[in-house]
Amino acid sequence: MKVRPFWFHLCRLISLTFFKLFHGIRTQGVDSIPEGPLILAPNHASFLDPPAVGCSVRRVTYYLARHTLFAPPVGSWLLPSIGSIPVNQESPGPSSLKNIFEVLKNKGTLVLFPEGGRTLDGNLSKAEPGIGLIAARSNVAVVPVHIIGSREAMPRNGGWHPFRPIRVVYGSPIRFSGDPKNREDFQKFADEVMSAIAKLH
């Protein structure tokens, strides 16, 4: 991964300033996030979610991003420099998983949306089993995160609405305890993560 820490934190602070000015962002539990390796698992309702969940975390955080955004000359340099990992959502390949496990092996912090995509109606969606697989194979703790208000600030298929408040609540770590080869256990863990997100207010 070609992350440039100085550039990453500059972008993070710019994002934090943006969210404070235009959305009065408030966080809860961010100071209790354990050291990496770690997965932050937020709900997903808006394009604002990735920077909202990471801007208050004082460390480099990695994200999955649609592979089509990595087009040169800008995307191919900019996105890897701020911790983005390309993934083909229609057909995820082994290279994406390799990059994910590399981040976690190096004690990094990965932001992974359990639902896979943004909610259509504002309600929490059913999680995909992928977060269970990654948590099982990496033996890494997962911190549930509830982002509240981002859909009102920028809904799916809608424009940006400034001055709508956003709050981000970070929960307690959860560890996978099932069979690391059982897809049903991956799904059970993913459902457990979504249940934990729903309880954060």
pLDDT band at 92 (very low <50, low <70, confident <90, very high): low
- Please state the pTM of the whole predicted model: 0.94
Mean pLDDT, residues 26-38 taken together: 96
* Mean pLDDT score, 23-48: 97
pLDDT band at residue 76 under the 50/70/90 scheme: confident
Model confidence at 93, pLDDT cuts 50, 70, 90, reads low
Range of the domain at 149: 5-198
pLDDT attached to residue 91: 63
Residue holding tokens 């049903």?
Answer: 184
Distances (CA, A) of 64 to 21, 24, 28, 114, 161: 26, 26, 24, 12, 25
Question: For the chain, what is the domain count?
Answer: 1
Has residue 55 got a pLDDT over 80? yes
Q: What local confidence, expressed as pLDDT, does residue 46 receive?
A: 97
Secondary structure class of 189 (helix, strand, coil): helix
* In the predicted structure, residue 33 carries a pLDDT above the cut 70: yes
Token pair of 175 as six digits: 């560890």
Mean pLDDT value across the chain: 94
pLDDT digits (tens, 9 = 90+) for 133-191: 999 999 999 999 999 999 999 999 899 999 999 999 999 999 999 999 999 999 999 99
Q: How confident is the model at residue 1 (pLDDT cuts 50, 70, 90)?
A: low
Q: How confident is the model at residue 77 (pLDDT cuts 50, 70, 90)?
A: confident
d(CA 53, CA 166): 10
Residue of higher predicted confidence among 65 and 145 = 145
Q: What is the mean pLDDT of residues 32-56?
A: 96
Q: How far apart are CA 25 and CA 15, in angstroms?
A: 11
pLDDT at residue 69, rounded to an integer: 85
Show the DSSP H helices in the chain as ranges: 5-23, 49-54, 75-81, 94-105, 130-138, 150-153, 183-198
pLDDT band at 75 (very low <50, low <70, confident <90, very high): confident
Separation between Cα atoms, residue 197 and residue 95, nearest integer Å:
29
CATH no. for residue 85?
A: 3.40.1130.10
